[in-house]
Amino acid sequence: MKIQIVNLSEENLKNIPVWESYPYSCKYCIYWEYPEKFIGLKKKNKYEIFQEKLGWLRRVKKEFGYCGKLIYIDRKPAGYAQFAPPKFLPNLINYNAGLPDNNAVLISCLFIFDKNFRALKLGKRLLNSIINDLKSRNVKIVETFARKDKASNPSGPVEFYIKNGFRVYKDDPQFPLMKLDL
């Protein structure tokens, strides 16, 4: 099994698989970036949504640097991660735990979308790759809104983050804010 992790780019975003269920693919998902446009996504033109996502990626890359990673297994994309300073992720205001630190980087998404490749430590690899990247960029704090009752959540469940050294920073019955000091 050949495993590669690469930075998310405008080019490789195009190649992320599409699936049946809403929002059809990470490449069409603007839940974190444009929450007001995410509502009613089903009725919107996928091409236009994709352009919105590309525009967001371009803006964050310019101001912050690379803000996502893809994991490939034997050259096929199997997982997606996205992260950025809080100001680029306006949907965070809809989480009740409280606001992330201004100087933190928030992991908005971490998803092994190919079910066949879950529980093989690929999520851990993807997370470690983000952490190492952010350390090299002198980031000191990483945070994420994880989920307590199940894994189905943009960045995954609380247990996954606890196993990877995070702690509950701002608690909530469902979506606590988790924190790791780098």
Peptide bond into 23 cis (omega under 30): yes
Cα–Cα distance, 133 to 175 (Å, whole number) = 25
- Which lies closer to ligand COA via its Cβ, residue 4 or residue 103? 4
Q: What value, to the nearest 5°, has the Cα angle with vertex 53 and ends 130 and 95?
A: 65
Q: Whose Cβ is closer to ligand COA: residue 14's or residue 124's?
A: 124
Q: Looking at beta carbons only, is 1 or 138 nearer to ligand COA?
A: 1
For ligand COA, which is the closer residue by CB, 99 or 151?
A: 151
Q: Which stretch binds ligand COA (CB under 6 A): 11-19, 46-54, 68-76, 145-153?
A: 145-153
Cα(122)–Cα(5) distance, rounded to whole angstroms? 10
Site string for ligand COA, 17-56 (x = CB under 6 A): ----------------------------------------
Number of neighbours of residue 66 by Cβ within 10 angstroms: 17
Phi-psi region at 98: left, alpha or beta (left = phi > 0; alpha = psi -120 to 50): left
112 in contact with ligand COA (CB under 6 A): yes
Residues contributing to the site for ligand COA (CB under 6 A): 110-112, 118-124, 151-154, 156-157, 159-160, 163
